[in-house]
């Protein structure tokens, strides 16, 4: 699980939360927000657990939105990556790079709606290339 930042040409920043299932490299959840708060992440974890029962581990980095959540309360174990070691979460980092290369680098982004459309149509409607 990780956030990627997406900036519009007007200086507004959005955050795309991506949750990847490591065994299949399938993106099991994605959502965009302007405010990546603990509550936003907590609610998405509940939705992910409802869609994917039986998942036991969730790998995340040291962002406060992830580290401040009590994962055992949701029946999962949070696995924290080391500081400054993106290779520990390499698969999600590769997905983020692919989203930039395959979609976002080709557009002047102006709004959340446009970002949602570009990400949905250009990335998630095509076969995975990562």
Report the distance separating Cα 63 and Cα 51, nearest Å: 24
Element (H, E) at 17: strand 13-21
Q: Domains in the chain and their CATH numbers?
A: 2-123 (3.30.420.10)
- Please determine, for residue 125, whether its predicted confidence score (pLDDT) is greater than 70: no
Tell whether pTM > 0.75. Answer: yes
Report the distance separating Cα 65 and Cα 67, nearest Å: 6
> Sorting pLDDT into bands at 50, 70 and 90, what band is 129?
very low
**Bridge partners, 6 (sequence order):** 14
Cβ neighbours of 53 (radius 10 Å)? 8
**Residue 130: predicted pLDDT:** 39
Average pLDDT over residues 62-86: 87
CA 88 to chain centre: 15
């Amino acid at each position: 699980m990780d956030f990627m930042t997406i900036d519009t040409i007007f200086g507004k920043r959005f955050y795309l939360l991506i949750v990847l299932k490591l065994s299949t490299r399938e993106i099991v959840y994605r959502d965009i927000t302007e405010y990546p708060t603990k509550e936003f992440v907590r609610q998405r974890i509940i939705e992910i657990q409802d869609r994917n029962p039986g998942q036991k581990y969730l790998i995340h980095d040291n962002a406060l939105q992830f580290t401040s959540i009590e994962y055992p309360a949701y029946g999962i174990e949070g696995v924290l990556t080391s500081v400054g070691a993106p290779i520990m979460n390499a698969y999600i980092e590769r997905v983020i790079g692919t989203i930039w290369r395959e979609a976002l680098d080709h557009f002047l982004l102006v709004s959340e709606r446009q970002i949602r459309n570009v990400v949905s149509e250009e990335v998630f409607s095509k076969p995975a290339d990562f």
